[in-house]
Amino acid sequence: MKNIITALLMTLTLTPAANAGSAPSDTIVIAHLCDPQIGFGPKGIDDDLDALRTEIANVNAAKVDLVAIAGDMVNRMDSTSIARFLEAAEAFEAPVVMTPGNHDIAEPCTAAGLAKYRAAFGPDFTERDLGSHVLVAFNSLLYRGGPADEVAEQKALVADALTRAKAAGKPVILLCHVPPFEAEIDEADEYFNLPTAIRRDLIQQFYDGGVRIWLAGHTHKTHRNNYGGITILNGENTSKNFDGRPRGFRLLKIAPDSSFTWEFVPNVASAE
């Protein structure tokens, strides 16, 4: 029997800014954004940018502690798309952590692709202490292939971060682009998941290292999966969803005991 429980999505929908000030002071509030991917939406790059600006306004109104963008900031890594995304993203009021998607770095990863991403968006590995928890953002594309030295360094960075968090007694929140699986742990290798050859061992390593929440993007579908003691979350996108869900983002509120809520905020302008 497969040891997997796929939970129903939390469908609570918030009006923009409804969450502001509602979380206890010791609760971590993270805006979980998936695939802004400007230039991918059905109405073009200007519409995607308008949607991103609306999302940024709603994130700012929610007074979050951190913005976590789960990859694919742009649809194409051309200078215009990069510049326009970064210009819009300057309006975020909270710290922003980004992780690379497969539209930000073409697969398989190359040294040139990694260098271009880092020059545009910064490091593809980030470790951030959030007080009661630690956020570890890593390049999931390197788990699907890339230069041997980069793959080895990424694995070492992740392992070291988990070791430090565990020594400090702090649970870990992961952020990356590609989830370990889309629907079932034993599903075949395909575009939307990590390889079966590493999937179970990786989840075990992460759980042993204190990971309890894994934020991802990439699927353009909203999923909440639980496996091996880790909750894996794929939220709605800013650009285009493949499952009929409206555009928007998720507010992740994490209590010190790691209990959490994951609430949908639609991509509509505030009435204020």
pLDDT tens track for 91-125 = 999 999 999 999 999 999 999 999 999 999 999 99
Any domain includes 22: no
Tally of domains within the chain: 1
Q: Is residue 66, in this structure, part of any structural domain at all?
A: yes
- Per the domain annotation, does 179 fall within a domain? yes
Whether 12 shows a pLDDT value over 80: the answer reads: no
Record the tokens describing residue 202, joined without a space.
């990786």
- Supply φ then ψ for residue 212, to 5 degrees: -125, -25
Is residue 272 one of the residues assigned to a domain? no
pLDDT of residue 259: 95
Residue 21 lies in a domain: no
Query: Rounded CA gap, 108 and 270, in Å?
Result: 41
Answer yes or no: is pLDDT of 3 > 80: no
Contacts of 43 (CB under 8 A, 6+ apart): none
Classify residue 195: in a domain, yes or no.
yes
**In contact, 179 and 143? CB cutoff 8 Å:** no
Residue 271 lies in a domain: no
Lowest-confidence range among 6-15, 19-28, 162-171, 209-218?
A: 6-15
Angle formed at CA 192 by CA 190 and CA 194, multiple of 5 degrees: 75
Please state the pTM of the whole predicted model: 0.91
pLDDT attached to residue 42: 86
Amino acid at position 65, single letter:
D
Res. 15 pLDDT band, cuts 50 70 90: very low
* Mean model confidence pLDDT for the chain: 92
Angle separating helix axes 79-89 and 111-121, nearest 10 degrees: 40
Mean pLDDT over residues 144-169, rounded? 98
Domain residues for the domain of 41 are: 5-10+27-266
Compute the distance between CA of residue 246 and CA of residue 204 in angstroms, rounded to an integer: 33
Token digits for 268?
């509509």
State yes or no: pLDDT of 8 exceeds 80: no
10 or 29, which is more confident?
29
The pLDDT of residue 11 is: 36
Question: Higher model confidence: residue 160 or residue 14?
Answer: 160
Number of Cβ within 10 Å of residue 132's Cβ equals 16
Type of residue at 108? P
In order, the DSSP letters of the chain are ----EEPPPP--BPPTTTTTT-S-TTSEEEEEEB---BT-STT-HHHHHHHHHHHHHHHHHTT-SEEEE-S--BSS--HHHHHHHHHHHTT--S-EEE---TTTSPSSP-HHHHHHHHHHH--S-EEEE-SSSEEEE--GGGGG---HHHHHHHHHHHHHHHHHHHHTT--EEEE-SS-S-SS-TTPPP-TTS--HHHHHHHHHHHHHTTEEEEEE-SSSS-EEEEETTEEEEE--BSS--SSSPPSEEEEEEE-TTS-EEEEEEES-----
Residue 18 lies in a domain: no
**For position 165, which CATH number holds?**
3.60.21.10
Q: What is the pLDDT of residue 157?
A: 98
Share of the chain above pLDDT 90, in %: 87
